[in-house]
Structure 1
């Protein structure tokens, strides 16, 4: 349960920071669509997003209307199949998600009391690495004396 509370706390911290910014607030559905479009390989269609997220096509269309209005995605007719509408990424959408990612990173920053543990583990790792390097230098075959050749009989 503590792990769940920590995860929810991180999510809350990131969302609160996002809401406090001047940028737009996205619904969970809009954010899910954004993440799907930006974090998975294209092409993306309304039908495909609806199937993947298990929501109706009209719900996807409404979310895309808002995301398009914000300039976060754009829609284009599929040149191969005119019935399909492709959902494409935009620079503005990439910047929005990059900024949001920074909020998530900041929310998950290591607490000061946890840093002592991290530093101690790093010191132990550095000491172990130094010992290993010393042992390897001593045991290198090229550093070992070459036995003298036995005299021929």
Structure 2
């Protein structure tokens, strides 16, 4: 059942969730990296550097730098598109799915604390 939150409650929930995520996971994703990761996992594939750049309104080098970091952390992988070698396809990983599942669990737990 959805909970109606005030802006202050929503920010408090986000604050609690981000603190827990930092303490428990140790990965330090930027807001942009998190937005990219959510796009990759919540929107059906395929995902390309070009497509992500267009979706987020940033340049391809910005996406590439973010993917470099997320790739080092095991959250995503990249490979050349065999049909069009100019494109780089971004793939999901088990670690990335588990990271976001845990984030979702933290959000649900925090929301339950706010429920009447």
Deviation per residue, 1:49-71 (Å, 9 max, x gap):
01001111111000000000011
Aligned mates of 2:38, 2:25 — CA distance in 1: 20
Residue in 2 that maps onto 1:98: 101
2:33 aligned partner = 30
Partner Cα separation in structure 1 for residue 94 and residue 22 of structure 2: 21
| Per-residue Cα deviation, 1:66-120 (whole angstroms, up to 9, x for no partner) | 00001110001001000000000001110111111111111111447x1xxxxxx
Distance 1:111 1:73 in 2: 33
The residue aligned with 1:44 is 47
Residues 113-128 of structure 1 mapped to structure 2, 5 A cutoff: 114=116
Residue segments in structure 1 that go unaligned for 5+ positions in a row: 115-153
- Cα distance change, pair 46–12 in 1 and its aligned pair in 2 (3 A): same
Q: Secondary structure at the match of 2:58?
A: coil
After superposition, residues 59-78 of structure 1 pair within 5 angstroms as: 59-78=62-81
CA distance in 1, matches of 2:64, 2:29: 15
RMSD value, Cα: 1.4
SS at match of 1:86: strand
Among 12, 35, 42, the alignment partner of 2:15 is: 12
Whose relative contact order is higher, 1 or 2, with alpha carbons under 8 Å and at least 6 apart? 2
